[in-house]
Structure 1
Amino acid sequence: MIDGQTATSAESGLGTELELQRRLALATPVDTVRGMSFHTTLDVLRADLGEDAVARCLESLSDKSYKSFFTYPVSEYLRLQYTAAWLLSEKQGGFDNAVRRMASGIAPGFLGSVVGKAFMLLAKEGPKQLLNNIPVAYRAASSFGEATVHWTGPRSGVLTTKRDFLLYLNHEGGLMGLFRTLGIHDGRVSGRQIGPLDNEVTFSWG
């Protein structure tokens, strides 16, 4: 479980070359993500390890720069994310925390964009209304899979993603980043992989 910004769970075992290759083998040319995901990853890498680490990650990628709302192959993003997480592992206390750290910037970055500001209008009705629109944000950010939100209480629910190339660690970090953006300091998230490309993340606050 992630409580605030502290991870208390053991490593997931997802940070291996074998797992990366498994996901890459399942990806097709139509599976894409927005450039914003690349920006967030590279910004964290730059802040934590400097420009040399950024250059090292970009070496193996076909593109060297990314436009936020253009789409790029998810295979490229997976290669970047894994390489960046491996580089950040020592500083962040493991692969899992490195992925969470990189993903935590997605929500603030998205909500600060023109499209995201429209989503922020929903926050005036409370966090639940904004969280209900996670599936819409998911579709705006990627071409693959689907996301659903099921509420288990007034301030608790479950985010489920199917045929999702991202790790549940991405969604843990993303939800915590969203909570912080909304000023929720007692948010809790806990994820797990429930299928080859399927994730389940429980969340609560207050």
Structure 2
Amino acid sequence: MTDNTKEPTKEEEAAVIAKEKAEQEALPYKWSQVLEEVTVVLEVPAGTRSRDLIVDINRTSIVVALKNAADKPFISGELYKEIKVDDSTWTLDDQKEITITLAKVNKIEWWPHVITSAPKIDVKRIQPENSKLSDLDDETRSMVEKMMFDQQQKQLGKPTSDEQKKQDILKKFQAQHPELDFSQAKFS
């Protein structure tokens, strides 16, 4: 099977980036992300108090609106992926801006958009900040270290950690059962 897709020209790439930027700037909120969370910032009328707001953050959806204009929410829809509601927060800053932090369940995936009805960004162009492995929680750090090891092994033409584990189990089984002939066996 051949890949018939061609690399976009610089002009085509610039047009795509410009279109994406315009779509994102047209949203009624600004958003950013790191692997662990998504941050949404939206402006509200000056003098807004928290009691004037509807902020409904669920595992798979979000609604933020003024109580007296609930039919015209700032943001409303199904989230791209599930979040941890208990670890997600929102604050009203200076009675004019809401900052919402959504804790991702899957901390190794970039989101192309906050809500599924919004225009997508190309997540392949995301340039993550360099972070230290020591900044990560134990589970995430071990997952990243395994991914880095496996990537290095593939580049060297060596087996990944999972492939190595399978080979080790097979060797141990063969050693425990020398009476079995594995010379014609095919393993994939």
TM-score tier (shorter): under 0.3
More helix by share: 1
Tell me which structure has the larger Cα radius of gyration: 2
More strand by share: 2
Given the two structures, how large is their TM-score scaled by the length of structure 2? 0.24
Given the two structures, how large is their TM-score scaled by the length of structure 1? 0.22
Instruction: Specify which structure has the bigger relative contact order, considering alpha-carbon pairs within 8 angstroms and separated by 6 or more residues.
Output: 1
